[in-house]
A = this chain, B = another copy of it.
Amino acid sequence: MDASLINTFAAYGGAVGQRVAGASEAAKLGAVAVVVRSMASNNDDIPHTGTLHYEEGVKAIPAVAISTNSADLLSKAVADDASLKLYVETHCKTLPDVLSYNVIGEMYGSGNTDEYIVVGGHLDSWDLGDGSHDDGAGCVQSIEVLRILKGLKYTPQKNIRAVMYMNEENGLRGGLKYAELASFNKEKHIAAIESDRGGFTPKGFTISGSEAARTSLMSWKHLFEPYTIYDFGKEGGGADIGPLKDQGTALIGFLPDSQRYFNYHHTGIDTFDKIDKRELELGAASMAALVYLIDKYGIDGNP
């Protein structure tokens, strides 16, 4: 991962192909197994894991991610001794699918409205750790948005849903099913917000949608600046809300500080003690503020 990139997600995006496609690319060249340096922002001794895609028609060879420190050690050992042999033993397997569900909470709009605003994260996590930042934080924040609005005794004009999507990590089937049912039930989703970048200090929101939707978001930027939230309008949404794009929904990504995310992502240490309560709450509050603005003023030029 290119440590010189301030946005650690950009660094991850630039490197993760080595893990996703590495096994099949190596197999084409005759490799019997592949060892990948963990996608991580720091030097540590734990594996940072994640999706691997085996290409159709290419031999599916064993593949492991090792820690950044271990990878540095191994690179040095190979450089010192080209005849070095490495023994790899892995017990990973993919179990059969089981039936599971999205989990949805809803505040009903005050009018006879078929319009929806959704705010969500994903319920599943990668195998290791608890998934506290990825994406326990997003789930808790989405529930907290509804709790804040109820706590303020706010009656929304539109229907507001907190959606905990299932299966983001391994197929996105919760997000796909949600969009399919939204279309089937003729629920007009004007905006979908996703929190899936950890429970860190809020920096702003990304958006993927019409120019009118972007204009709406940018018109509210000054309302967040007193809270030192400045980063608005870069392109981006979220994996789980992505399938709503065809329905004209403004897709909005919650953008927290990204510096520590890849210390924990898909590791055994993405645990509750890595969450700072104030940072988590400020994120939820900024999401609640945005939901309020969209509910009150609309987005995409439509009130």
Binding site for B on A (CB under 8 A): 3, 6-8, 41-42, 201, 203, 226-228, 230-231, 257, 259-260, 263, 276-279, 282
CB-defined contacts of A41 to chain B, threshold 8 Å: 278
A228 CA to B148 CA in the complex, in Å? 28
Contact A230 B230 (CB under 8 A): yes
Contact B228 A228 (CB under 8 A): no
Contact A259 B230 (CB under 8 A): no
Indicate which residue in B230, B263, B278 contacts A260 across the interface (CB closer than 8 Å): B278
A201 with B257, Cβ < 8 A, contacts A6-B282, A228-B231, A282-B6 known: yes
Stoichiometry, as copies per complex, reads 2
Contact B276 A259 (CB under 8 A): yes
A228 with B260, Cβ < 8 A, contacts A42-B277, A278-B41, A278-B42 known: no
CB-defined contacts of A259 to chain B, threshold 8 Å: 201, 276, 278-279, 282
CB-defined contacts of A227 to chain B, threshold 8 Å: 6
A98 CA to B51 CA in the complex, in Å? 59
CB-defined contacts of A282 to chain B, threshold 8 Å: 6, 259
18 contacts between A and B (CB under 8 A): A3-B278, A6-B227, A6-B228, A6-B282, A8-B278, A41-B278, A42-B277, A201-B257, A201-B259, A203-B228, A228-B230, A228-B231, A230-B230, A230-B231, A259-B276, A259-B279, A260-B278, A263-B276
| 6 further contact pairs, Cβ within 8 A, besides A228-B230, A260-B276 | A6-B227, A42-B278, A203-B228, A230-B230, A259-B282, A263-B276
A73 to B: closest C-beta gap in Å = 19
A243 CA to B8 CA in the complex, in Å? 39
Nearest B-chain residue to A43, judged by Cβ: B277
A277 CA to B263 CA in the complex, in Å? 10
A104 CA to B126 CA in the complex, in Å? 49
Nearest B-chain residue to A276, judged by Cβ: B260
CB-defined contacts of A7 to chain B, threshold 8 Å: 228
A236 to B: closest C-beta gap in Å = 14
A203 to B: closest C-beta gap in Å = 6
A259 CA to B42 CA in the complex, in Å? 22
- Which of A8, A226, A230, A282 has the most C-beta atoms of chain B within 10 angstroms of its own C-beta? A230
